[in-house]
Amino acid sequence: MKSRWWQQAVVYQIYPRSFMDTDGDGVGDLPGILARLDYLAWLGVDVLWLCPIYRSPNDDNGYDISDYCAIMAEFGTMADFERLLAAAHRRGMRVILDLVINHTSDEHPWFVESRSSRDNPKRDWYIWRDGRNGGPPNNWESIFRGPAWEHDAATDQWYLHLFTRRQPDLDWENPAVRAAIHAMMRWWLDTGVDGFRIDAITHIRKAPGLPDMPNPQGLAQVAAYPYHMNVAGILDYVDELIRATLAGRDAMTVGEANGIGPDAAEEWVGATRGRLSMILQFEHWHLWSNAPQAALDVMALRRILGRWQRALHGRGWNALYLENHDLPRVASRWGDPQRHPRESATALATMYFLMEGTPFIYQGQELGLANAGFASLADFQDSFAHNRIAEMRASGMSEDAILDEMRRTGRDTSRTPMPWDDGPHGGFTTGTPWLAAHQDARRLNVALQQADETSVLNHYRALIALRRREPVLIHGRYTELAMRSTRIYAYTRGEGSERIAVMCNLSGRPATFRHAGFALDSGGLLLANGPVAPHGPRHVLSLAPWEARVYRAATAS
């Protein structure tokens, strides 16, 4: 298989609102990203994924777009974007945009027209239906809580919104909608962007007739939505989109793909299919969100990630991630920020980063940040959070219990401003940040960690450099070791004398690694997250709590 540039790459996800503010309004901006490009180059990342930067009323922090071809005023101008793109390209970095095409903002001119009358030519650009028995057209619930339908009094019909009521779903059955989206994508590609992360791609097709369905319970985005997620025929839309926009261009695409399992993944990202470069799968996310109070189940994690590794080896490509802007910090979900903050963050990092696939780092993850420690429910800004808080209040939960729940599971927990130094608000802004600065900004910021060789940040930097140095870490086969261990996640990449072994103790207790196939000696140590005493060839290693080591396992025995 010919290696593609995005297979060699490491992606860094930027949440522009919280990355760097240069004009003192408390909101990050494009000149802020430009100002920090040298940091990103120092870290060694290759691709910047910018969360939505388009004009938006910010009901969902930019995932509600009112003009696809304009920049959000708080973030700057199109000239700022062009400068940023050129500067990134000069440093050899690429830039991909977040493409939100399942829905628009209710302020998008298409929707303003669509809602203006039943016979407006844009009426059928969105999904309008008559009500049923005085209520919504069907029983669907929004992924963000409450009914998925909003009544429009002026025209006495309801429109569908799978996310907030200010994010009406486009009707992808309408060829004019698809053509407009394709034209917009071509426009961005022509400006020089290097690809897209495609938001909610598995939701764009709805089942004909929009039948009632059992609504999932629990945390949003964790369960099946049979009639609006991965509905049969969805790949026709994807094929058409690729043909109309990306064909013949060397762009990277990564689809946000809730509902796709490893068995179906090849259809989406198979090397011979010509569809997407990779998808962001949700199965290890659900491992956490189905039991957010539980400790990490190493066996279950290995089962999930291992299936993805095996399913796509030599056939497609994986996106590797632990964090994003929709998830609480992995340090709080699966690590131990109280007793082993540095070790647990670096062990988790080592575990996922050296698998086969393109690793993604979400801003602040490389500092080992834990969840933001919000003091009160009033600190939560996310509209999804507001819906959940209202729902929990209505169910009679106490304010303390709700705060506890939101501090563990809310999306704001990972959206706090990036801590750059130990100045006010972590050096993010000279004004008042839109979301309170992280409680650990003084001790876990970029400046301090750059200077500390043992920091989480320098461990990420070393992982990136190692992946770049060792070709076997790009395409080598993944083979699990210590398969019955409930603490150690270990695997090799590659075969025979070209083999690298990755061993991570993902628990707060010592653990023993035994393997018969090859010996490991400290001469072949490539990376570790703590001191390793020199040792000769061994088949048994004791790993301290949250210890991670990477060896060249060339020695046959």
Residues 251-270 as x/- pattern, contact with ligand NOJ by CB under 6 A: -----x--------------
CB–CB of 285/327 below 8 Å? yes
Residue 86: φ, ψ to 5°: -65, -40
- Between 161 and 425, name the residue whose CB sits nearer to ligand NOJ: 161
Going by C-alpha positions, the residue among 131, 132, 112, 115 that lies closest to residue 123 is 115
Please tell me the distance from the alpha carbon of residue 94 to that of residue 329, in angstroms, as a whole number. 25
CA angle 492, 493, 497 (to 5 degrees): 90
Least Å from the CB of residue 6 to ligand NOJ: 20
Nearer to ligand NOJ, 221 or 507 (CB): 221
Q: Which CB, 326 or 422, lies closer to ligand NOJ?
A: 326
Q: Does 200 bind ligand NOJ (CB under 6 A)?
A: yes
Helix axes 456-469, 341-353, angle to 10 degrees: 20
User: Contact 178/186 with Cβ under 8 angstroms?
Assistant: no
For the bound state, the minimum distance from the C-beta of residue 330 to ligand NOJ, rounded and expressed in Å, comes to 16
Q: Which is nearer to ligand NOJ, 146 or 270 (CB)?
A: 146
x-or-dash pattern for ligand NOJ, window 44-63, by CB under 6 A? ----------------x--x
**Residue 163 engages ligand NOJ in binding (rule: CB under 6 A):** yes
Residue of this chain nearest to ligand NOJ (CB atom)? 63
Could you give the angle at the alpha carbon of 442 between the alpha carbons of 440 and 444, nearest 5°? 60
Could you confirm whether 124 is annotated as catalytic? no
Task: Identify which of residues 325 and 549 has a Cβ nearer to ligand NOJ in the complex.
Answer: 325
Name the active-site residue from 59, 199, 356, 440: 199
364: left (phi over 0), alpha (psi -120 to 50) or beta: left
Residue 27 Cβ, how far from ligand NOJ at the closest point, in Å? 17
Question: In the bound complex, what is the minimum distance in angstroms from residue 46's beta carbon to ligand NOJ?
Answer: 21
Q: Which is nearer to ligand NOJ, 59 or 470 (CB)?
A: 59
In the complex with ligand NOJ, the residue whose CB is nearer, 257 or 441, is: 257
User: Identity (one letter) of the amino acid at 50?
Assistant: L
Distance (Å, whole) CA 524 – CA 553:
7
Tokens standing for residue 424: 């006010």
Determine the distance from the C-alpha atom of residue 373 to the mean position of all C-alpha atoms in its chain, rounded to a whole number: 21
Q: Quick check: 19 and 493 in contact, CB under 8 A?
A: no
Q: How far is the CB of 376 from ligand NOJ (least distance, A)?
A: 23
Cβ at position 140, least distance to ligand NOJ in Å: 16
- Rounded to the nearest whole angstrom, what is the least distance from the CB of residue 280 to ligand NOJ in the complex? 9
CA distance linking residue 528 with residue 535, whole number of Å: 14
User: Could you give the count of Cα atoms lying within 13 Å of 317 in the half-sphere of its Cβ?
Assistant: 27
Q: How many CB atoms lie within 10 A of CB 327?
A: 20
Cβ proximity to ligand NOJ: between 100 and 287 the closer is 100
Q: Cα separation of 185 and 159, whole Å?
A: 25
Contact of 128 with 173, CB cutoff 8 Å: no
Give dist(CA 154, CA 486) in Å, integer.
59
**Do the strands 525-528 and 548-552 form a parallel or antiparallel pair, or are they unpaired?**
antiparallel
Q: How many of the other CB atoms lie within 10 Å of CB of 117?
A: 12
To ligand NOJ, the closest distance from the beta carbon of 420 in angstroms equals 24
Question: Least Å distance between CB 82 and ligand NOJ?
Answer: 25
Assess contact for 272 and 317: CB atoms under 8 A.
Answer: no
Give me the amino acid identity at 106. D
Binder among 326, 405, 422, 498 for ligand NOJ (CB under 6 A): 326
Binders in 60-99 for ligand NOJ, by CB under 6 A = 60, 63
Catalytic residue among 141, 169, 256, 440: 256
Q: Are 13 and 360 in contact (CB under 8 A)?
A: yes
Nearer to ligand NOJ, 205 or 549 (CB): 205
Give CA–CA dist 178/534, Å, rounded: 61
**Active centre residues (catalytic):** 199, 256
Interacting residues toward ligand NOJ by CB under 6 A: 60, 63, 100, 163, 199-200, 256, 325-326
